[in-house]
Chains A and B, each alone.
Chain A
Amino acid sequence: MLLPFFEWMGGLRLSAFFLESIWPTPIIQNIHLMAVAVFAGSVLVVDIRMLGRGLRETPLAQLARSVEPWLIGSFVVLVISGIPQMTSTALKQYYSPFFWWKMQAVLIGVIWTVTVRRRIAMRPEAELGPVLPKVVAVVSIALWTSVTIGARLIGLMG
């Protein structure tokens, strides 16, 4: 169903630009990977805190709020730097099971982060009990780890 859309992406001038020149692809990959590090840090600092470890002496809500600009900012960079990488290899992505794995995990990860995880992190901790935040954090770590694994395997396994 989506094949025509991927064929259209592959035919874009943007895709041709990335395929025909040498440096744009590695440059955009590096920007993407640096954003991965910032995004991973933004996720983990709060998730580890929700596990009751890490920066455990800091209030969870305050920590989550102060990290949020980095979380959102790095995600925006990830999406923008991801687009040309996707369009310039559109058919490879379309036929890669790992691409679909990654994108499904991204979708669920975003929904989880902006709904359940955000609501839990911002609530007064005394109301949460010991188990709920830990479950939320484990799901978050699992989702974003599977995004990273899927992403790496697109390149390695096709």
Chain B
Amino acid sequence: MIRSLFEWVDVLPTSIAWRESLNGYPLLLTAHVVSMGLVAGIIIFWDMRLAGIALKWVPVSKAKAGLFPWMTVGAVINVVTGVVMVFSQPMRYYPNFWFWLKMGMLAVVVVNAAYFHLSIENTVEEWENDPVAPFKARMAGYVSLAFWAGIIVTGRMTAYSGLVPQWWIDLGLG
């Protein structure tokens, strides 16, 4: 099903136009890396606040209010450029081990963030001035830091589509 979706996109005129554009890919990839600096850079400091590693003297609600709008700007550019890159070369990404691993890691950070904001954060007023947050909040920070590192690494590794486990090659997706 996923394969047919990717194959369908592959022959769309807009996809072909992006793929054949000389400057499209360099432009997208460069914007993707620059906006990564914004979204990942800011998230790292938010996560480090939660984990009790940095900015421990900043109240958690103040850190959130100050950092989240910027993180969102970076995330929007990141997602748009990422989606257009996949849209422009779907059959390059479909068989790519690192691409799917990255998507899996993105799903983990989304679930982790949702769990934090919907559950752990409910009691934030009780501990937001503590330099070291409660265990669950610290864990949410550490999980996010680890998986964001993974997202950066798997994103870079997408260029190494041959450096993958043998069982993945045996799937014969390419």
* Cβ A41 vs Cβ B62 within 8 A: no
B residues 27-76 touching A (CB-CB < 8 Å): 29-30, 33-34, 36-38, 40-45, 54-55, 57-58, 62-63, 66-67, 70
Say how far A22's CB is from chain B's closest CB, in angstroms.
Answer: 7
Of the candidates B41, B58, B148, the one whose C-beta lies within 8 Å of that of A55 is B58
Q: Is B153 an interface residue (CB 8 A)?
A: yes
* Cβ A70 vs Cβ B54 within 8 A: yes
A63 to B153, CA, bound (A): 29
> A48: which B residues are within 8 A, CB to CB?
66, 70
A63 to B55, CA, bound (A): 8
Of the candidates A29, A37, A67, A149, the one whose C-beta lies within 8 Å of that of B40 is A37
Give A38's nearest chain B residue, CB to CB.
B44
Q: Decide: A156 near B29, CB < 8 A? Known: A34-B152, A41-B42, A55-B58.
A: yes
> A149: which B residues are within 8 A, CB to CB?
30, 34
* Cβ A26 vs Cβ B157 within 8 A: yes
Of the candidates B29, B44, B55, the one whose C-beta lies within 8 Å of that of A37 is B44
Say how far B128's CB is from chain A's closest CB, in angstroms.
Answer: 13
Say how far B153's CB is from chain A's closest CB, in angstroms.
Answer: 5
Interface size class, chain B: 20 to 34
Interface size class, chain A: 35 or more
> B38: which A residues are within 8 A, CB to CB?
40, 44
Give B37's nearest chain A residue, CB to CB.
A40
Give B36's nearest chain A residue, CB to CB.
A37
A41 to B42, CA, bound (A): 5
* Cβ B160 vs Cβ A26 within 8 A: yes
> A66: which B residues are within 8 A, CB to CB?
54-55, 57
Say how far B132's CB is from chain A's closest CB, in angstroms.
Answer: 15
Q: Decide: A55 near B160, CB < 8 A? Known: A41-B41, A41-B44, A66-B55.
A: no
Consensus secondary structure, chain B interface: helix
A residues 43-95 touching B (CB-CB < 8 Å): 43-45, 48-49, 53-58, 62-63, 66-67, 70
Q: Is B156 an interface residue (CB 8 A)?
A: yes
Q: Is B163 an interface residue (CB 8 A)?
A: yes
Q: Is A148 an interface residue (CB 8 A)?
A: yes
Say how far B148's CB is from chain A's closest CB, in angstroms.
Answer: 8
Q: Is B11 an interface residue (CB 8 A)?
A: no
Say how far A53's CB is from chain B's closest CB, in angstroms.
Answer: 8
Q: Is B26 an interface residue (CB 8 A)?
A: yes
Q: Is B149 an interface residue (CB 8 A)?
A: yes
Q: Is A13 an interface residue (CB 8 A)?
A: no
Q: Is A42 an interface residue (CB 8 A)?
A: yes
B residues 13-35 touching A (CB-CB < 8 Å): 25-26, 29-30, 33-34
* Cβ B163 vs Cβ A22 within 8 A: yes
Q: Is A104 an interface residue (CB 8 A)?
A: no
Of the candidates B33, B57, B70, B149, the one whose C-beta lies within 8 Å of that of A34 is B149
Binding site for B on A (CB under 8 A): 22-23, 26, 29-30, 33-34, 36-45, 48-49, 53-58, 62-63, 66-67, 70, 144-145, 148-149, 152-153, 156-157
Q: Which 3 A-B pairs have the closest CB atoms?
A: A41-B41, A40-B37, A40-B41
